[in-house]
Structure 1
Amino acid sequence: MLKGITENAVQSLIASENPSDIQFDIVVIESNKKQEEYAYPCTRTLFPRKKFGFHKYFNLGISKTDSQYICLANNDLVFHKSWASEMLRAFDADPSLVSASPACSIHHPAHGVDLYSGIHEGFEVRKEVAGWCLFFKREMLDITGKLDEGFTFWYSDNDYINTIQKHGLKHALVSSSIVDHLESQTLKSKDEKEQFKLTHNDRFYYEYKWGKRSLFSYLNIKRKLFFR
């Protein structure tokens, strides 16, 4: 099922832009170690030996590319026509913009953000920050450094945007760039115990990293999670 979701995302991405105008360098990081190695069409598909980690795999994908712009995308997405063109138009119009997210036609209108309503600057997760699709200038990493590989799954977007804020950089939602999110398809495929591990440790690490929890408290909870 998840393989089919990834295939659909790749197909919608390829169909979203005229290749004579925009060329995508698509890297798929496949985490299913049991799946026979399979190259998703029009991609470079990697089967890393290292254990899954959201930021760990994203850093790997980033290291395999050299384009000016980077898009970090979940596999449960549907890319609409001209989404990337609209994104680039926003960056061209505002040279100080270094990071952005597209709008989701399912999520954002239901949360008070209309499609085609302009550029919305801000740092709120699931509003201006759509963690399922982050688009930024590669040069941003010269300031922020690589993504923190301490985050395995959840709170990755919170850490990403906190880091951008920390360095005084600008992020915005581009409401004319549409990429739909099918909401946690990978997480829903896991059993309850695995879901707990993928989400709760990241929450406590996030609280520790950003000063909301002491190191002792974090290590104590991590030990309990390990033996759960």
Structure 2
Amino acid sequence: MQFIDIIILSNAQNESLRKLTMDCLESLISSEDEDAIRFNILVIESANTSPYDFPNCRTLFPKMSFGYNKYMNLGIRKSSSPLVCLCNNDLLFQQGWASAILKAFEETPGLKSASPYCRLNHPARNIPSHSGIKFGYGVRDEISGWCILFKREILKTTGPLDERLTFWYSDNDYAKTLEKYGILHALVTDSFVDHLESQTLAIRSKKERLMMTGGERYYFEYKWGTRSYFSFLNHKRKQFFKSL
């Protein structure tokens, strides 16, 4: 029996978004034989709604302000399985997705992080399905930021996710961190999880989307050495005065 902690972020502000999370959970639970793989599911819910009543599923309602990495770190702390999967809620899990990744871990020495193949995204990036294991750190190529399964042991090397990134560039930072420490990651093209693309983000205002997307770039570029500290501070100063 393999145990996998599944951490899903949700913001079910309306019935449509709640259904999105429900569909995600239903597809996940039916995707594997529970006698072989047991999912410990933790939904981190931002909206004031009811818990999700599914087998092996807990719902947390954080009192702290939203942050993608902050909420994911909370889920990581509240779970303990040797395998961890970080997920958006706008996903549809296909039969045998986890089995395919576990097989890749078993057959590939040193592989400690992997993403599944998205039939909506990867064909457009000229990556065919059933084309083997693709090693690398390319965001939206090898690293599908909407679904990443890794061995918990890597956190002993990398530390927790960087909570200064509140939404955008979280996957880029994950990729850079793995590359920095030489932790092997791959896209498993026999594992299928389809991403429905930023359904929750679409309900936010234009200002909120800009803050959660473009605003993250300055810190990310400063952290990884492509932007000066002065430029980063200048951006923070402009943000401060805009908020007044």
TM-score bucket (shorter structure)? over 0.9
- Call closer, same or farther: CA 1:45–1:214 in 2, change over 3 Å: same
Structure 1 runs (4+) greater than 6 angstroms displaced: none
More deviation, 216-225/21-30: 216-225
Q: Does the aligned pair in 1 maintain the 2:218–2:232 contact within 8 Å?
A: yes
1:64 to 78, 81, 93: 78
2:29 maps to 14
C-alpha RMSD over aligned residues: 1.1
- Percent of pairs identical after alignment? 53
Pairs within 5 Å for 1:64-83: 64-83=78-97
Q: Does the aligned pair in 1 maintain the 2:137–2:143 contact within 8 Å?
A: yes
2:5 maps to none
TM-score (norm: length of structure 1): 0.96
Q: Secondary structure at the match of 1:23?
A: strand
Higher strand share: 2
Across the two proteins, how many residue pairs are aligned to each other?
Answer: 226
Instruction: Show CA shifts across 1:51-92 (max 9, x none).
Output: 000000000001111111100000100000000000100000
Q: Does the aligned pair in 1 maintain the 2:51–2:58 contact within 8 Å?
A: no
Q: Secondary structure at the match of 1:99?
A: strand
Q: CA deviation at 1:40?
A: 4.3
Answer yes or no: is 1:23 the counterpart of 2:38.
yes
Instruction: Show CA shifts across 1:15-67 (max 9, x none).
Output: 100111110000000112xx234234231100000100000000000111111
2:131 maps to 117
**In 2, Cα distance between equivalents of 1:7 and 1:40:** 9
**In 2, Cα distance between equivalents of 1:66 and 1:17:** 20
Answer yes or no: is 1:93 the counterpart of 2:107.
yes
Answer yes or no: is 1:36 the counterpart of 2:58.
no
Answer yes or no: is 1:218 the counterpart of 2:238.
no
**In 1, Cα distance between equivalents of 2:17 and 2:212:** 17
Instruction: Show CA shifts across 1:146-199 (max 9, x none).
Output: 100011110000000100000011110000000000011111111101111111
Flag structure 2 segments of 5+ consecutive residues without an equivalent: 1-15
TM-score (norm: length of structure 2): 0.90
The aligned amino acid for 1:8 is D
**In 1, Cα distance between equivalents of 2:17 and 2:23:** 10
2:182 maps to 168
**In 1, Cα distance between equivalents of 2:228 and 2:162:** 19
